[in-house]
């Protein structure tokens, strides 16, 4: 027997121990990245991992013959599974509902395999050492390996390699151990040729993974958006992302879908025409929010409109829709029209300073998902809007989904009523959003008259479709709610509760 061989096996104990702990740390880190709450994640991962190692050790007694060859096969398997673990977990996180099952499945599998390694190794070595020596040597190397892993993981690997590359690197190391053992003991192993080529193949696969790791992670990040990202930009206020799939463009603000080019006409026609068509005398229009210029595009279809004032907080957003060629195609250059004045300002402060009245006011703010935006849905804000609404004018408010969030929708309605406005709620179906709601509001002495005809060229809004939009079936029927005020922000609470069930 070659004297070097036991030493080689001991070194492989060391490598195996290091790799084992690294996989465990990777799983723990990944879980706390993706699921949050690092204490819980780490402690459950470690628990499951150690328990699985126990199972592995227990199973090891069922391996009777060809232990060396089993050991090599297990090494290859650990290398492959461990190496690909973080990649697979990253990729499935977005698309799988029960991510935890996959995660703990991986952790258990790796744990069982790693649990097998040491007992098998000890049995391989048992005839080459005295028992006392054997236990002492194997465990010494095992624990040194663990120390090394726990030190280099946070200090070197995570900062310099990242999770995905680290996993691949240790996968390679694992399989290299297999290969070396295989070559050194080829006389004692029956199918050594087969095992050698299997290790070689695995090493190559893992190396390819290592090299292309960056591509994989960026791919997984773009998985959040199922389509190709063609534009992304962080402005002072939000992250704007534009995606494209086939011919369909989608705009996301902070990850929330803003519009999809194949059905946005349904939303914007419904937002603008039932109101503006009823005001043949209208000259001055105000749009608050809606920096994409799509509502303005609809408004400019009316010849009687002299001026459109668009107030949007984010200059990054309005400039994008004034300059990007693809986007100009969608909004038909609306924000470049000489009739349109773009103002980048905070809506609440801006409106407080206004005196001049508007015939038609479109309020197209983001959904009331936080206290900051929630202020723009309060009675205090609507009082100000009412103050600049021309006596015979109309205002319209995008009011979230009356189907998913009926309490939120009817709170907006109630709040508008509370400032002395007569409301006309309506809704339509926008495939990308689902059932969506809008509320027209007017001074009570000027009741809303449904337009009998609409301007030509509309794809969705017509006399008949508006009649349908005005009808609320039972499952979206009116519910009693409170008025949304600056000092209760009840809408934000409703909105959170109602959308929590969906998202």
Partner 1 sequence: MSGQTFYKGDLTTYLKRRSFLLRVGLITGGIFLNGCLKKIKSKYNIKGALNGPDSKAGHILRDKIKLPKPSSSRKVKTLIIGSGISGLSAARWLQKNGEKDFEILELENHPGGNSHFGTNKTSSYPLGAHYITVANNDDDLLIDFLKEINVITHFENKIPYYNDYFLTFEPEERLLINGEWQDGLIPDFGVPANDKLQIKDFLYLVSKLKNTKGSDGKFLFNIPISSSSADKDYRELDKITFKDYLEEKGYTSKYLLWYLNYACKDDYGQKLDKISAWAGLHYFASRRGEAANAEQNAILTWPEGNGWIMKQLTGKLKDHIKTSTMCYDINLTANGNMLATVFNPETNITEKIETEKIILSSPQYVNNRLLKNLHRPIEYSYFSYSPWLIANITINELPQSKGRGLCWDNVAYNTASVGYVNSAQQHLKISEDKKVITYYLPLCNFEPAVSRLAAYSRNYEQWLDIVVPELEIIHPGITQAIENIDFWIWGHGMIAPTKNFIWSENLEKARTPIEEKIFFAHSDLSGISIFEEAFHQGIKAAKQVLDANR
User: Which positions touch partner 1 (CB under 8 A)?
Assistant: 236-237, 313, 346-349, 352, 371-376, 378-380, 383, 485-489, 492
399, two tokens: 């009011």
State which residue, 208 or 486, has the beta carbon closest to partner 1: 486
Q: Using the CB atoms, write b or e for 197-234: b if 16+ within 10 Å.
A: ebbeebbebbbebbeebeebbeebebeebebebeeeee
Tokens of 336: 């470049």
Asked whether residue 292 is marked as a ligand-binding residue, the answer is yes
Label each residue of 20-64 as H, E or C.
Answer: HHHHHHHHHHHHHHHHCCHHHHHHHHHHHHHHHHHHHHHHHHHCC
First CA to last CA across the chain, in angstroms? 64
Minimum Å gap between C-beta 237 and partner 1 is 6
116-133 in b/e form (b: 16+ CB < 10 A) is: bbbbbbbbbbeeebeeee
Tokens of 447: 């009741």
Q: Based on the residue annotation, tell me whether 364 is a catalytic residue of this protein.
A: yes
User: Helices 38-59 and 4-35, interaxial angle, to 10°?
Assistant: 140
| Nearer to partner 1 (CB atom), residue 362 or residue 419 | 419
Asked if residues 98 and 39 have their Cβ atoms less than 8 Å apart, the reply is no
> What distances in angstroms separate CA 82 from CA 16, 29, 199, 206, one per listed residue?
12, 14, 15, 10
Closest approach, Cβ 372 to partner 1, in A, equals 5
Cα angle 378, 438, 316 (rounded to 5 degrees) comes to 70
Q: Determine whether the annotation assigns residue 347 to a binding site.
A: yes
| 3-class SS shares of the chain: helix, strand, coil, % to 5 | 60, 15, 25
In terms of CB distance, is 332 or 485 closer to partner 1?
485
Of the residues 142, 359, 364, 367, which is catalytic? 364
Least Å from the CB of residue 492 to partner 1: 8
Nearer to partner 1 among residue 334 and residue 400 (C-beta): 400
Cβ–Cβ contacts within 10 Å for residue 86, how many? 27
Query: CB 53 → partner 1: shortest distance, Å?
Result: 32
Cβ atoms of 285 and 293 closer than 8 Å: no
Nearer to partner 1, 38 or 323 (CB): 38
| Residue 346 is labelled as binding a ligand | yes
Instruction: Give me the least distance between CB of 379 and partner 1, in Å please.
Output: 7
CA distance 70 to 117: 9
Of the two residues 156 and 486, which places its CB atom closer to partner 1 in the complex?
486
350 vs 499 by CB, closer to partner 1: 350
State yes or no: 160 annotated in a binding site: no
Minimum gap (Å) between residue 71 Cβ and partner 1:
46
SS (H, E, C) 207-271: HHHHHCHHHHHHHHHHCCCCCEEEEEEECCCCEEEEEEECCEEEEEECCEEEEECCCHHHHHHHH
The nearest distance, CB 292 to partner 1, in angstroms, is 18
- Binding-site members are 238, 268, 292, 312, 346-347
- Binding-site members for spermidine are 268, 292
Q: Which residues are catalytic?
A: 364
- Binding-site members for S-methyl-5'-thioadenosine are 238, 312, 346-347
């Amino acid at each position: 027997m070659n004297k070097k061989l036991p030493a080689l096996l001991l070194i492989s104990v060391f490598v195996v121990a290091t790799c084992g702990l690294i996989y465990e740390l990777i799983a723990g880190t990944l879980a706390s990245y993706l699921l949050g709450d690092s204490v819980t994640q780490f402690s459950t991962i470690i628990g499951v991992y150690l328990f699985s190692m126990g199972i592995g050790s227990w199973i090891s007694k069922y391996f009777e013959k060809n232990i060396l060859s089993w050991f090599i096969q297990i090494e290859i398997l650990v290398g492959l599974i461990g190496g690909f673990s973080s990649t697979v977990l990253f990729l499935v996180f977005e698309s799988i509902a029960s991510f935890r099952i996959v995660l703990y499945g991986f952790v258990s599998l790796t744990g069982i395999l790693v649990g097998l390694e040491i007992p098998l190794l000890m049995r391989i070595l048992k005839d080459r050492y005295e028992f006392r020596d054997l236990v002492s040597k194997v465990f010494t190397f095992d624990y040194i390996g663990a120390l090394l892993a726990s030190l280099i993981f946070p200090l070197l690997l995570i900062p310099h390699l990242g999770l995905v590359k680290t996993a691949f690197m240790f996968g390679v190391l694992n399989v290299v151990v297999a290969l070396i053992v295989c070559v050194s003991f080829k006389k004692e192993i029956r199918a050594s040729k087969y095992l050698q080529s299997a290790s070689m193949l695995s090493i190559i696969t893992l190396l390819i993974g290592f090299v292309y790791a960056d591509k994989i992670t960026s791919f997984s990040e773009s998985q959040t958006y199922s389509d190709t990202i063609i534009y992304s930009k962080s402005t002072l206020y939000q992250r704007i992302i534009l995606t494209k799939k086939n011919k369909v463009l989608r705009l996301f603000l902070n990850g929330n879908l803003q519009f999809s080019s194949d059905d946005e006409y349904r939303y914007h026609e419904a937002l603008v025409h039932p109101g503006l068509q009823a005001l043949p005398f209208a000259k001055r229009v105000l749009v608050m929010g809606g920096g994409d210029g799509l509502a303005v595009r609809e408004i400019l279809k009316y010849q009687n409109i002299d001026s459109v004032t668009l107030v949007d907080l984010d200059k990054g957003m309005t400039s994008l829709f004034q300059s990007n060629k693809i986007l100009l195609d969608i909004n038909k250059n609306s924000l470049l029209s000489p009739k349109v004045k773009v103002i980048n300002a905070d809506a609440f402060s801006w409106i407080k300073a206004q005196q001049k009245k508007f015939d038609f006011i479109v309020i197209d703010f983001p959904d009331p998902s936080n206290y900051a935006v929630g202020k723009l849905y309060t009675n205090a804000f609507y009082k100000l809007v009412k103050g600049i609404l021309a006596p015979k004018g109309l205002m319209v408010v995008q009011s979230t989904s009356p189907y998913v969030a009926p309490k939120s929708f009817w709170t907006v309605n109630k709040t508008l009523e509370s400032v002395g406005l007569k409301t006309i709620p309506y809704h339509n179906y926008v495939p990308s959003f689902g059932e969506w709601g809008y509320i027209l509001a007017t001074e009570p002495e000027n009741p809303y008259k449904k337009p009998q005809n609409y301007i030509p060229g509309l794809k969705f809004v017509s006399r008949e479709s508006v009649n349908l939009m005005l009808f609320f079936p039972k499952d979206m029927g009116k519910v009693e709610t409170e008025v949304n005020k600056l000092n209760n922000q009840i809408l934000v609470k409703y909105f959170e509760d109602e959308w929590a069930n969906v998202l």
